[in-house]
């Protein structure tokens, strides 16, 4: 299952979904009903699972668009059953088991009971049963293993019931814990060539996304000049500063102010001053003179240097998921087949 929620982690919902299907994905995972509806409206017929809870009034649209719904509480069933009756079909359900995440789901002892009720209901199709692992770091593998064993024990109680998809593994588990694979793996960051953990860095991954911009102005400043809001950066020498029309409204995190760098002419150049909503400032004093239109790489490779999603996550003190999923809608996406 390729996870394409949050605008396919910032990559673009419809193009990314079509690419993952072409690449062999058996199903797509979204968080919201409207994401699933958008996929159906684009002509995508591949199974789509809505991974987050929906409201009862959304059940009709779920069933009408042949979307599968993950549920973690029996109160979700009546609306789905009623919608299925209206459409003369069966609502497709994945049951969520809470094995230690402490978020969505039934307790392991409760899940088999509800699972049997779903399987016996003529208006429901028990398509899958799932859990989600809270622990992704190498030092927490014992806790992750405990969750998987708990899930396996729960599955063993579903006797005489056919459930096509039993799934637990996210990207990190897909890499580090083969016993978590069951019938299906839910691959998020890995889909886009981004390592989900430090240990996954040894994989041969090719990032799908680069972020590039162009210099719109170059200015010369004297020693002592402060830059941008709050004057958080003071020049200690005469400097050439390049301006780029891109900022935190585009997902270039303000927390990276005076910490990050970009690539220009194949060389790292520091981002200086507070990152603005629409502009960043780059010190280009130490590279050959540049002018308006020069390419700037904010994420990706130029020459012998590259900037990765984990690099940006470290500068912004966040996680890789945030870096790409918060990319702004006004950034134009260009797709290369």
Q: Which residues are the active-site residues?
A: 5, 229
The Cα–Cα gap between 233 and 167 comes to 49
The Cα–Cα gap between 81 and 60 comes to 10
Reduce the DSSP state of residue 308 to 3 states and report it. Answer: coil
Ranges assigned E (strand) in the chain: 2-3, 28-30, 48-50, 68-71, 91-97, 124-131, 165-169, 184-185, 211-221, 226-227, 233-234, 239-244, 261-264, 267-272, 280-283, 295-302, 305-307
Alpha-carbon distance values, 325 to 53, 165, 209, 311 (Å) = 20, 27, 12, 15
Q: Which residue has the tokens 């799934």?
A: 167
For 310, the token pair is 């984990």
Tell me: is residue 103 an annotated ligand-binding position: yes
Alpha-carbon distance values, 45 to 23, 36, 39, 140, 167 (Å) = 15, 10, 8, 38, 21
Alpha-carbon distance values, 205 to 191, 193, 202, 288, 328 (Å) = 10, 5, 8, 33, 24
> Which burial class, exposed, middle or buried, applies to 279 when counting CB atoms under 10 A from its CB (0-12, 13-18, 19+)?
middle
Which residues have a Cβ under 8 Å from the Cβ of 53 and sit 6 or more positions away? 70, 71, 72, 73, 76, 104
Is there a contact between 28 and 20 (Cβ–Cβ < 8 Å)?
Answer: yes
In order, the DSSP letters of 99-130 are SS-SSSSB-TTTHHHHHHHHHH-TTEEEEEEE
Please report, in range form, the residues annotated as the binding site. 103, 277
Please report, in range form, the residues annotated as the binding site for substrate. 103, 277
């Amino acid at each position: 299952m390729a996870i394409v929620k949050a605008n396919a982690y910032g990559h673009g919902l419809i193009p990314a979904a079509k690419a993952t299907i072409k690449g062999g994905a058996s199903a797509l995972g979204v968080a919201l009903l409207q994401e699933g509806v958008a996929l159906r409206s684009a002509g995508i017929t591949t199974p789509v699972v809505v991974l987050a809870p929906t409201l009862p009034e959304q059940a009709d649209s779920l069933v009408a668009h042949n979307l599968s719904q993950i549920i973690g509480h029996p109160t979700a069933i009546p609306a789905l059953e009623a919608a299925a009756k209206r459409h003369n079909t069966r609502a497709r359900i994945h049951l969520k088991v809470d094995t230690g995440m402490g978020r969505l789901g039934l307790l392991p002892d409760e899940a088999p009971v509800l699972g049997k009720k779903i399987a016996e209901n003529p208006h429901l199709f028990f398509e899958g049963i799932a859990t989600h692992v809270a622990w992704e770091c190498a030092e927490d593998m014992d806790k992750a293993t405990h969750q998987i064993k708990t899930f396996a024990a729960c599955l063993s109680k579903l006797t005489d019931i056919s459930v096509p998809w039993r799934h637990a593994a996210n990207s990190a588990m897909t890499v580090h814990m083969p016993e978590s694979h069951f019938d299906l793996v839910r691959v998020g960051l890995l889909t886009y060539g981004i390592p989900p953990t430090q240990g996954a860095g040894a994989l041969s991954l090719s990032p799908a996304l680069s972020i590039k911009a162009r210099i719109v102005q170059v200015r010369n400043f004297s020693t002592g000049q402060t830059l941008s809001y709050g004057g958080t950066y003071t020049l200690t020498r005469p400097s050439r500063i390049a301006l780029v029309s891109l900022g935190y409204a585009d997902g270039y995190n303000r927390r990276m102010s005076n910490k990050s760098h970009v690539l220009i002419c194949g060389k790292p150049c520091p981002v200086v001053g507070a990152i603005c909503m629409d502009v960043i400032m780059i010190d280009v004093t130490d590279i050959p003179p540049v002018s308006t239109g020069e390419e700037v790489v904010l994420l990706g490779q130029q020459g012998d240097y590259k900037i990765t999603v984990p690099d940006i996550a470290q500068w912004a003190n966040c996680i890789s998921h945030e870096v790409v999923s918060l990319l702004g809608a006004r950034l134009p996406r260009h797709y290369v087949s």
